[in-house]
Structure formats: structure tokens, C-alpha cells
Amino acid sequence: MHEYDDAVLQCFLKNQEQLFPEPVAENMEEAEVFLEECMAIVVNSPKEVWEYFDEQGIDIEGADEDEILLADEIFDIGDGRYLIVEG
């Protein structure tokens, strides 16, 4: 089970519509359950986002770091960490 701290949950609640057409969670508890169900991960740097995509076999050829961080499934927590949610 992943541990999602308040910063992660608040980031997802605030920005969830970048990935989904309508909200999937209305409070921190629902956000945590949703993130656990879709096995979202928190990484500590843009480099780790890149490594995650590479490990998952996602084609990042020709993309730069900024483009990858703009992907809908990447949420910038604001403290250097990123939440990756596969929709």
C-alpha cells in the first residue's frame, strides 16, 4: 500500500480534472482510495518521472523533460515531487 501524504492528496484533488473529465474524488479520503486503486506513485524528481516512463515502456523518444512533466497523468506536487496517475 502506498502512503499518500496531505500534499499529494490535496494536489490530486485540486488538479484531478487535468486527467479526468469530471472529479473522481471529493475529499482527501476518496482521493487516497482512488490513488491506491489505480496504484499511483509518487516520485522525487523529474528524472524519476522519466525513469518511470522508460520502465513502463512508454515512448518518450524525442520528448524533453518539460514535455513529459506536462503529460496529463503527471501532477506537480509543488515540493519537487510528482504524482503519476495512470487513468
The percentage of the chain sitting over the pLDDT mark of 70, rounded to a whole number, equals 97
For the chain, first and last CA: distance in Å?
18
Which pTM does this prediction carry?
Answer: 0.90
* Cα dihedral 70, 67, 45, 59 in deg (nearest 10): 110
Does the structure show a pLDDT above 80 at 2? no
Mean pLDDT over the full length of the chain: 92
Query: pLDDT tens-digit profile of 9-51?
Result: 999 999 999 999 999 999 999 999 999 999 999 999 999 999 9
**Could you say which DSSP state residue 70 is in?**
T
Position 43 scores a pLDDT of 97
Position 87 scores a pLDDT of 66
DSSP calls for 16-34 = GGGTSSS-S-SSHHHHHHH
